[in-house]
Structure 1
Amino acid sequence: MSAAFNYKHLYYFWVVAKEGGISKAAERLDMAVQTISAQVRELERSLGYALLKPAGRGLVLTDAGIAAMQQADQIFQLGESLPARVRDAVSAPMVRLAVGICDGLSKLVVRSLLNPVMEVKHLRLLCHEGELDDLLGELALHRLDVVLSDRPAPNNPNIKLYSHAMGTSSIAWYGTAAMAKSCAKHFPGCLADVPVLLPTGHTALRARIDHWFERQGVRPRVVGEFEDSALLKTFGASGMGVFPASELAHEDLQTRYAVRHIGPCDGVTEHFYAIGTERKVQHPMVQRLLQAAT
């Protein structure tokens, strides 16, 4: 970026874009129109692109202006939150734990895995959900302290990652009272007749369930597949179909979703891992999670 780049010029441009015109921006900033206009032109000169163009009686963003506005939004929104962050840091020491959560993991299970740290005084928990590869990239950049996953980290010659086992849970089938009644007499054969909801193939669990169906000689009537585990349970609770879930969350499934246990998915277990960048975990909150899981 040019050495002539000036954040004050960027701020004036940001206000102009927010207000939809230089006159309104000047009024908000209590400055002369000519001054605001000159500052925006200086920014355009330093970047080498026009950021605003006339449209009727106002101004609109160019493509370059849209890109600049997106960055300016992040910069000045962070700036506006600075006083509160400083105040919070001084008023109470915070224990920060940034956790990446694979989108295929059950939210109820995640809550159970994180339970050992929930009563820590002054805990500031930051949860980021996404696909495993994206979360591991954030972990490598030290934007996350740990990633919770249903599979160990893949081998990567460029990033040294360590997978710490946090335990396993058996899988069972759940559904509404009506679905449970339909399956009461001939489980698991009933799964060929009742509608079935499954996680998508991006989860480690899906392959195990598919193999279970093969062993049972059952061809399921699949009516829905979901990447998000909470959506899977929500649609299952609405009566769309029976669904597999971790028995670790059995009580929450019954109380929050009002579903019933239909039958076990014998031999199928879900594995949980805490993935970090160190063989010997240093973060006290991650240590606490692993100690509770052993």
Structure 2
Amino acid sequence: MPLNYHHLRYFWAVAHDGNLTRTAQHLNLSQSALSTQIKQLEERLGHALFERRGRQLHLTEAGRITLDHADAIFSAGQELVATLQETGNTRQALRIGALATLSRNFQIGFLRPMLARMDVEVILRSGSPTELMEGLGTLNLDVVLMNREPPSDSLAPYETHHIAEQPVSIVGSPGRFEPSTPIRDLLREQPFILPTTDNSLRTAFDAMASRLSVRPQIVAEVDDMAMMRLLARENIGLALVAPIVVQDELSSGRLVEADEHPQIKENFFAITLKRRFPNKLVQELLTGHPAPQPKSRSANASPDAL
């Protein structure tokens, strides 16, 4: 007997809500009718999907497996509708999520090919890693830009693309330091504006200071590149940043770069979701080349020739 997908959707709704009565109200069903539908699904699958603890429903092991498959099934359906609804549109949408603290200059440089196209609408949202990965998983985002790799999860069908690598410099106001000063002396003499301790750049900086047997003065720990740039411009201290973050200030001479580089690199990643109907603009963005187009049927070709 084939699976009844109405029953599966009812189970899916209850599993995500965790409350049978509330779900029945949302679905405009009686609680008994909803219970009957789930009971029929359990009979079809041969396993109990919920166990009751007090007033709360909790998934059994079979229920967890069923929910994973239901998530994939209904997500694929939403993806299909969203993809096919855009077929034939003259203006295509590319939904991009970016870490809220990611360099705006890097984002603009990376997205410039798409921003220059009249047939593409770029929808850019910023957020925390958790918010962005959730947006990717629910298909509200096509690609996420980060300067760190997402946590590994064997159950999540994510793909991580390394898209850029940039050396990091020490920058500050011209009157604060001489660019030719060795890094060891800068660490001893100058206050530093650094990324927070959960940042890979900070980890590399701390390791460098340890190798040089120096304990630098840290005047500020910042997780926002825009704020770090502002603090450096206000002469609060020397900042550890990729030059692209402060390219305007370096060009104008408002900030200068130390001659000796700390040999630290910042990596940038694009995170995508494995999709049955991927947005072809994502491939173009990642490769820099148009995605291959399906061959169109020749006006003179017969059906048998296809």
TM-score of the alignment, normalized to the shorter chain, above 0.5: yes
Q: Gaps spanning 5+ residues in structure 2: where?
A: 1-24, 29-85, 290-306
User: Which residue matches 2:235?
Assistant: 239
Deviations 1:165-207 (A, max 9, x none): 10211111111111233x5434332222211101112333221
Which letter maps to 1:95? Q
Structure 2 residue 193 is the aligned partner of structure 1 residue 197: yes
User: Which residue matches 1:119?
Assistant: 116
User: Which residue matches 1:15?
Assistant: none
Which letter maps to 1:288? E
Per-residue deviation, 1:264:
4.2
Deviations 1:64-121 (A, max 9, x none): xxxxxxxxxxxxxxxxxxxxxxxxx9xx843212111113322222222222322111
Q: Gaps spanning 5+ residues in structure 1: where?
A: 5-88
Q: Tell me how far apart the structure 2 counterparts of residues 256 and 162 of structure 1 sit (CA, whole Å).
A: 39
Residue 259 of structure 1, aligned match among 255, 270, 274: 255
Per-residue deviation, 1:139:
0.6
Structure 2 residue 153 is the aligned partner of structure 1 residue 143: no
Matches within 5 A, 1:87-236: 93-181=90-178, 184-236=180-232
Q: Tell me how far apart the structure 2 counterparts of residues 179 and 165 of structure 1 sit (CA, whole Å).
A: 36
Per-residue deviation, 1:279:
8.0
Per-residue deviation, 1:218:
2.4
> How many residues align structurally?
206
Per-residue deviation, 1:143:
0.9
Secondary structure of the corresponding residue to residue 97 of structure 1 = strand
Q: Tell me how far apart the structure 2 counterparts of residues 149 and 159 of structure 1 sit (CA, whole Å).
A: 17
Per-residue deviation, 1:249:
4.7
Change (3 A) 1:188 1:114: farther
Q: Is the 8 A contact 1:97 1:123 kept in 2?
A: yes
Change (3 A) 1:94 1:202: farther
Per-residue deviation, 1:253:
4.0
Stretch deviating more after TM superposition (166-175 or 206-215)? 206-215
Change (3 A) 1:264 1:131: farther
Residue 282 of structure 2, aligned match among 282, 286, 293: 286
Change (3 A) 1:227 1:249: closer
User: Which residue matches 2:69?
Assistant: none
Stretch deviating more after TM superposition (102-111 or 138-147)? 102-111
Q: Tell me how far apart the structure 1 counterparts of residues 145 and 249 of structure 2 sit (CA, whole Å).
A: 21
Secondary structure of the corresponding residue to residue 183 of structure 2 = coil
Change (3 A) 1:216 1:163: same
Identity %: 22
Which letter maps to 1:137? E
Change (3 A) 1:156 1:93: same
Q: Is the 8 A contact 2:180 2:260 kept in 1?
A: no
Deviations 1:145-172 (A, max 9, x none): 1011112222224321110110211111
Secondary structure of the corresponding residue to residue 156 of structure 1 = coil
Q: Tell me how far apart the structure 2 counterparts of residues 246 and 280 of structure 1 sit (CA, whole Å).
A: 36
Matches within 5 A, 1:20-31: none
Q: Alignment RMSD, CA only? A: 2.8
Which letter maps to 1:127? L
Secondary structure of the corresponding residue to residue 208 of structure 2 = helix
Q: Tell me how far apart the structure 1 counterparts of residues 229 and 277 of structure 2 sit (CA, whole Å).
A: 33
Which letter maps to 1:239? N
Change (3 A) 1:278 1:224: same
Change (3 A) 1:268 1:3: closer
